[in-house]
Structure formats: structure tokens, C-alpha cells
Amino acid sequence: MKTPLHLQFRGMEPTDSLQQLASDHVNRLESLAGDVMACRVSIEQLQKHQHQGRPYGVMIDLTLPGRELTVNRVQHEDVYVAMRDAFDAMRRQLEAVVQRRRGEVKQQKA
């Protein structure tokens, strides 16, 4: 992995499995676009009162040359599901950027 990964945990203890999972997801994103400059991932145990426990929130900021992609509203009771959903949303954004770069998607005229 050549992309610097900045992983932050809030309201919970860091675990090796979550760190490895985040690293694996970033490697997959790098395979889509090789010019990823940085990736910041924040995993937070939220304090909201819900019927079934305290949810986890995952936020991702991905920096490309001249562009920054953000996923910030992914929440779930299971931290692994929240991570999966957040990285899936980031993958879709990154695929759209790559398609625009390749000219596969027509640009809209203003």
C-alpha cells in the first residue's frame, strides 16, 4: 500500500482487525485509481440513544490530485457493516471519477 492511511478511532479502542480491514479496503481503492494521495478514515461510536444499542459511524476522506472525495453519513450498529457500506460508497464515487477521466461519461455543459 503506497497511500498513507490515517485511521482515527473515537469513543472506542482501536483493534487490529479494524485496522487491517481499513488497510485492505484502501488497497482495493488504490487498484481502481493509482493516483490516490491520502486516505483518512474515522471510526466513531456514536452516543445516540436508539432501541438496539449505540451505532458506529464511519467517515472517509480520499484525496486525489485536484479533488477530494468524502463519505460521512454511514452509520450502523455493527462496525464492520458500517465500514463495508462506507467503503462501498467511496468505491462508487471513485469509479465515477475514473470514468469521467477516461471520457466514458459525457460532461454536462453549464
Q: What is the CA angle 102-104-107, rounded to 5?
A: 95
Give the model confidence (pLDDT) of 19-62 as tens digits.
999 999 988 888 888 888 889 999 998 876 656 677 889 999 99
For 63-91, what is each residue's pLDDT tens digit? 888 889 999 888 888 899 999 999 999 99
pLDDT score recorded for residue 84: 93
Domains of the chain (ranges, CATH numbers): 5-102 (3.30.160.100)
Q: How far is residue 21's CA from residue 79's CA, in Å, rounded to a whole number? A: 11
